[in-house]
A and B are shown apart, each in its own frame.
Chain A
Amino acid sequence: MRWKGIITLLVLAGIVIICGLIFTDSWLEKKLETAGSNIIGARVEINKFDISLLGLHVKWDSLQVTDPQDTWKNVLTTGKCEFNMAFLPLLRKKVVIENVMTSNITSGTARTTDGKWEKMKKAKKESKPNVFSKTIARLENEISGAPAWNLEQFGKKVNVDSIIAILNIQSVGKIDSLKNDLEKKYSYWDNTFSEIKLDEYLTRIENQIKSIDPAKIGSIEELQSSLTTVNQVRTDIDSLKKVVLTTKTNVTNDLSFASENIKQVDNWIEDDYKNVLGMAKLPDLSAGNIGKFIFGPSVVNRLNKVLTITGQVRGYASRLKSDKPKKEKPPRLKGQTIHFSSKGIYPDFWIKNILLSGQTLKGVRFSGSVTDLVSDQKVIGHPTRFEVLGSRADDASINLLGEFNYLQDIPNEAIKLTMGGIPMNDVKLAESPLAPYKLKKGTGGLESMLTIKGEEIKGNLTFVADNLSFDMQEPEKDNRVVRAIQSVYAGTNMLNLEAKWASNENKTDLSLNSNLDDLLSARFRSILSTEVADAKTKLQNEVDQRVNKHKAEILQLVNDKNKMLAEKVKEYEDKLNQNIELIENKKKEIENKIEQEKEKQKNKLKDQAKEKLKDVF
């Protein structure tokens, strides 16, 4: 035993413990702030973090989380927070916290310093698209794909003549190019048929067969020789039949090619219609389209935020499950951590109860709880639930309920939000040229539900507001469309919006309807529909006029040539079959004649034999 070594060890241990007691708080505070900032992508700050290693008591005075979208604002601020960690589970590296109390939670507060954070550059993992990412992408596509409403543009009369002047019809060139291709193919067959001279050959054979007349042939030898000639011709004609059948197949293929390609002509013309109408920027006046344009971005933006968070929660939950993990490529000397299921009573991480309270910037005081925030729900047998209730003196209320259930094999999430008595003063409904600038007065209520079961996402939102007064900002340029919008808002004092969404692995449906859609649509129709329809007809007529001549030419070519080639092939086939029939008949005729001659000679021999026998007896 090396006693001096043991003493050194004890001294080292003492130094470590003393340093730990002195520096743990600031070291841990910095570690937590860095980790949090890296996750959020903006600065996370903890004030006066304190951990008591003896009692395992943790507390901090305040926590600020910067909004990554606006780094001069906090997305979350909390007041004092404290909790105790259980000692025995901690020995097994399992964090179990009985109760966390945090108060003075608020959101949207201004920051005194910029909360920008340079994220640590990590190798991005290729994540497999799931129902969340697919739904988010599809919803964004649907909204960005909706035709834009440019009020200034629609306020003017559609200038069809200026569009016609710069019209670039693509289908004419495509039709002419197809016509050239087809003409080459037809010309090839014309040449082939004239070169092989099948007509002459078949006529020659026909004459050759007809020239054989068994009735005029007297001897069996000559008849046998004629039969051999006919059989030889039959062999030749069989070879010719093969050639004709192969030619027929090739011609049929070319005719189908022509028939198939000619179908594209209408699609090309249809594309030209679309391009021309796109150039004219004619609005789609259907009510559904207007609703999606006004409220779509706001609804989709909020829904996608909720879906992103829910997807992340599900992702973390599934990552911590004990399923067979996938092999990763970690950086050198870092390795990959494999999680095993937590047997017994302690999961890796478990906050049994979080009690929270605070106030929104608009003065709604709220309180609530999150229960069983846990790394593996199956260990404790409870799902994670949260509930937040809030109210204000003017009867505005908020109620948020949710459950993340990963107890079964199919994950299940449900979130319900109810808001009532919301004062609508100064509320901006949507960033759309068709929406009012903001609301002057009124009250509203909202109910929304989102359920996700495995790969099935379903949900709805109902927003009803009444006693409304709309504030229409003075338009930069006054025109008839803007005036129409203003008159619609002046004539109504309520708003009813209903949104529904359903999504799975393969498709996403989003429907948005509001009372404003029908009102706006009807008003736009009354002032724009005739004009839009006239412009559409005029532009389509222009396209037709330029394309029709080329279309008629190619159709004529294909009809004529296809008919001619089909008739030619049929004619050869018929002639060939006639020749075959002729040969077969001639063959039978010769064979009968041979039989007759044989019979005749047999009888003659019999008679001669009888005569000779008579002489003997």
Chain B
Amino acid sequence: MIIIKYLSKLLKALKSGETPAQLAGGFVLGMIMGLTPFWNLHNLVVFIIILIIRVNISMAILGFAVFSGFAYLLDPLFHNLGFWVLVDINALKNLWTSFYNTTTGSLSNFNNTVVMGSLLISIVLVLPVFFLTKVGVVQYREKIDSRVQKLKVVKILKSSKLYSFYEKINNWRD
């Protein structure tokens, strides 16, 4: 049931009045939360940003779900990259030591190899994923949406009482 709700919401979002940038922004922020270990200070910041600024939450959830899977697969890469950055690059040692001794640094868990590695990869991916998603949304609206709307599954979904109820209560956020 939750999945149906979520899918209908996602489809609505893709063809709604929200700008492609808002959708891509949500997706990218969800990606950061998905790629990096969840219970960390930076994710709290990302979570607050998602709630406060006008990015699409459904896309954030999609980004989170997709990239959580990648995170599991890429864990060894994150660990190796994080270890290299934290331990092997001597030039950065003083920077990390100083940051470790600050309040933000000690709470951020940056000195965990997977947190560091995954966060660096997320940062590198922010711009490419943002622009690719933006292009993807535009393309979807122009070429794919009309075909998706004709699909039987979508018609059934939209005619259900649940969907109309969900649409009503969902309007409070707008």
Check if B124 is an interface residue, CB within 8 A of chain A: no
Cβ contacts A317-359/B at 8 Å (1 or 0 each): 0000010110100101111111111111010000000000000
Contacts of A343 in B (CB 8 A): 97-98, 101
Q: Chain B: how many interface residues by the 8 Å CB criterion?
A: 34
Pair A93/B107 contact, Cβ less than 8 Å = yes
Please determine whether A92 and B87 come into contact, CB atoms closer than 8 angstroms: no
CB-CB under 8 A from B107, the residues of chain A are: 91-93
Q: Does A608 contact B (CB under 8 A)?
A: no
Give the residues in chain B near A129, CB-CB below 8 Å. Answer: none
Interface pair B53/A2, CB less than 8 Å apart: yes
A6 at the interface (CB under 8 A from B): yes
Contact (Cβ within 8 A) B114 A335: yes
Given contacts A9-B52, A327-B83, A335-B114, contact A340 B96 (CB under 8 A): yes
Q: How many A-B residue pairs have CB under 8 A?
A: 87
Min C-beta distance of A19 to chain B, whole Å: 16
A4 at the interface (CB under 8 A from B): yes
Which residue from B82, B100, B114, B117 sits with its C-beta under 8 Å from A340? B100
At the interface, yes or no: B172 with Cβ under 8 Å from chain A? yes
Which secondary structure dominates chain A's binding surface?
A: loop
Say whether B173 faces chain A, with CB atoms less than 8 Å apart.
yes
Of B48, B82, B112, the residue contacting A9 (CB under 8 A) is: B48
Tell me if B115 is interfacial: C-beta within 8 Å of chain A: yes
B114 in complex: contacting residue of A2, A92, A322, A333, CB < 8 Å: A333
Q: How far is the CA of A5 from the CA of B52 in the complex (A)?
A: 5
Binding site for A on B (CB under 8 A): 37, 48, 51-54, 71-72, 75, 78-79, 82-83, 86-87, 93, 96-98, 100-103, 105-107, 111-115, 117, 172-173
A333 touches B72 (CB 8 A): yes
1/0 per residue, CB under 8 A from B, across A1-30: the answer is 110111011000000000000000000000
- Determine if B111 and A1 form an interchain contact, defined as CB atoms under 8 angstroms apart: no
Q: How far is the CA of A343 from the CA of B75 in the complex (A)?
A: 31
What's the nearest-Cβ distance from chain B to residue A574, in Å? 73
CB pair A338–B72 under 8 Å, yes or no, is no
Instruction: List residues of chain B with CB within 8 A of the CB of A1.
Output: 52-54
Distance in angstroms between the alpha carbons of A93 and B52 in the assembled complex? 28
Q: Report A551 CB to chain B, min CB distance, Å.
A: 65
Q: Is the CB of A92 within 8 A of B103?
A: yes
Q: Does A174 contact B (CB under 8 A)?
A: no
Complex: chain A residue closest to B114, CB-CB? A335
- Residues on B with C-beta less than 8 A from A341 are 97
A2 near B52 with CB under 8 A, answer yes
- A9-B48, A344-B101 are known; give 17 further A-B pairs, CB within 8 A: A1-B54, A2-B52, A2-B54, A6-B51, A8-B51, A91-B107, A92-B101, A92-B102, A335-B78, A335-B79, A336-B112, A338-B112, A340-B96, A341-B97, A342-B101, A343-B97, A346-B101
User: Are A2 and B113 in contact (CB-based, < 8 A)?
Assistant: no
Top 3 nearest A-B pairs by Cβ distance? Answer: A335-B114, A93-B106, A5-B51
Q: How far is the CB of B70 from chain A (nearest CB, A)?
A: 12
Look across to chain B and name the residue whose beta carbon is closest to the beta carbon of A348.
B106
